[in-house]
Amino acid sequence: MIFGPHHVIGPPSTFGDMIKDRKPAAVLYLDPSDSVPWLAPLTVGRFWIDTPVQDEMLNDPVASGIALADRCIESSRHNGITIWQGLNEPPAYNYDTVQRLCQLELARVQRLEEAGLTAAVLAFGVGWPAEDMTTRKLTNEWYAPLMSRLDMRHYVMFHQYWRPTGPLHRDSLDPDGYPSLVDRQRHWTWPHNIIIGECGIDIGGQSGDGWKGHCPPYMNLEAWCDIYVDQCRDFQRLLSTDKRVKAGWIYTHGQYGWWSFETGDHWRQFAPLYSETLPEPIPEPEPERIRVKLADGSIADIELEEYLRGVVPAEMYPSWDMEALQAGAVWARAYAIASRRLHREAWGFDVYADTRSQGYNPALIHPRTDQAVKDTAGIVLVRDGEVLFSEYKAYCGRADCLKCNGQPGTTTKKNPDGHWPGQGCQWGAAYLAGLGYTWDAICKAYYANIQIVDYRSSDYTPFAGNR
């Protein structure tokens, strides 16, 4: 992840001084003029829109999104900026507001695409997207109308500020892995690249709440600046573990009125943070594929995530709680990968398309189960360094299953008592979801001693949403 200066207005003289010495690879301009002093490889522009006006724009979101895009397109013709932010810290108070925000952003994105430009969408304020404070779960699914149609060339933007104690302190980063002030994007399940549009020290979002305003009384500003720069480096290292995060902008350079956030007079201390080149893109791995033996005896070779679109609705009711469906998607993904490891050499394929393995019926594909697959893309269960052969039944019959309570579960000739130790319970997952369990908590309720990881990482990086 690279850093750059944010809210460059003007050009202020100190920014001009800085780019003579160091040309940052990322810059964010506020209200850019027809000519900008430095066009970085990753340059974002945005226009100041007062909060009440942003609220009004959502009354007619499609027209507002098109009008905002047209303004950006016209500006781009003069200054060459190709990435444009929309609303800044937009209202996301409830489901209805978010749906109108998604309409505005989708209309804006489509208009920018017509002009060959790129969008930075949503620009969440600190503490957003919205959160159910009972379950502490981010409401990712609210944004499906936009994100499911958003091309991968575009970015999602977050703002993340920390307390004066630093971004790694529990004041700002929840030690239990729950969504917190910083690193919050880890709980965002969509795969698009992410940029951190604003970051730094902030307490209450007012003009005196920045890093200068919280200089300890026993310390001079230069020494405090050095500590602040070290905190920025800590934040950079933290976000560098999330491969989706490409850049972050340190607030601010030339922002009128927000004196305590200014970095301009201290640019020499901040300049070493700013990379002058963009990192080389990491090549995307080839998608996993699964060989499925169909009812007619033929073998279909299918991309794993596409295969799961036909598995989850064949194994679970799409009307079930999303957390249960997401757990089912993780079980099915791990089962398929492990079955490939265990059976391909002997069988010549990986899974049957029926209950000898797990059901597969693409005729049952449904938007809700599609969403469950997408929300958990790449996530599997691992035990002892290998993807778990995560068998599951409709009813597990286990005494420790809150649904089965030891009553006979799914019975077969080989298992007439219906007790399936170490296996998942589909109806149990639905029951636990109704009690407020998250999908990863459901997984841990049925499979002992597991890690929840992203199989696409070479070292099985633990999934950021573990709770």
Q: Do 17 and 149 fall into the same domain?
A: yes
Q: What is the pLDDT of residue 464?
A: 44
Of 273, 302, 331, the one marking the end of a domain is 273
pLDDT of residue 140: 76
Q: How far apart are CA 344 and CA 3, in angstroms?
A: 46
Q: How far is CA 125 from CA 92, 129, 149, 159, 225, in A?
A: 9, 8, 22, 5, 24
Q: How many domains does the chain divide into?
A: 2
Q: What span, in angstroms and rounded, lies between the C-alpha atoms of 137 and 177?
A: 11
Same domain, 258 and 318: no
Quick one: 102 and 12 in the same domain?
A: yes
In this structure, of 4-13, 411-420, 430-439, the range with the lowest mean pLDDT score is: 4-13
Q: Backbone phi, then psi, for 73, in 5-degree steps? A: -60, -45
> Looking at the domain assignment, is residue 466 inside a domain?
no
β-strand partners of 417: none
The tokens 């350079």 sit on which residue?
253
Whether residue 320 sits in one domain with residue 254: no
Query: Which residues touch 239 (CB under 8 Å, ≥6 apart)?
Result: 1, 183, 185, 196, 245, 248
Residue 279: inside a domain, yes or no? no
Q: Minimal CA–CA distance to 389: which of 437, 350, 440?
A: 350
Residue 289 CA to residue 303 CA, distance in Å, equals: 4
Contacts of 206 (CB under 8 A, 6+ apart): none
Flag whether 59 is in a domain: yes
Alpha-carbon span 408 to 123, nearest angstrom: 51
pLDDT digits (tens, 9 = 90+) for 22-62: 889 999 999 999 999 899 999 999 999 998 999 999 999 99
Contacts of 254 (CB under 8 A, 6+ apart): 7, 8, 9, 10, 11, 12, 14, 15, 262, 264
**pTM: predicted TM-score of the whole model, two decimal places:** 0.64
What CATH number does residue 144 fall under?
3.20.20.80
Instruction: Let me know if residue 415 belongs to a domain.
Output: yes
pLDDT band with cut points at 50, 70 and 90 for residue 10: low
> What's the pLDDT tens digit per position in 215-271?
999 999 999 999 999 999 999 999 988 889 999 999 888 766 788 888 888 888 998
Q: Print the domain residue range for 190.
A: 2-273
Q: Read off the tokens for 188.
A: 């965002």
Same domain flag for 215 and 256: yes
Per-residue pLDDT, 132: 65
Are residues 268 and 293 both part of a single domain?
A: no
**pLDDT score recorded for residue 130:** 65
Q: Are residues 249 and 296 in the same domain?
A: no
Residues 256 and 316 in one domain: no
CA dihedral 49, 120, 256, 263 (to 10 degrees): 160
pLDDT digits (tens, 9 = 90+) for 142-161: 888 898 889 999 999 999 99
| Best CA proximity match to 109, nearest among 150, 81, 142 | 150
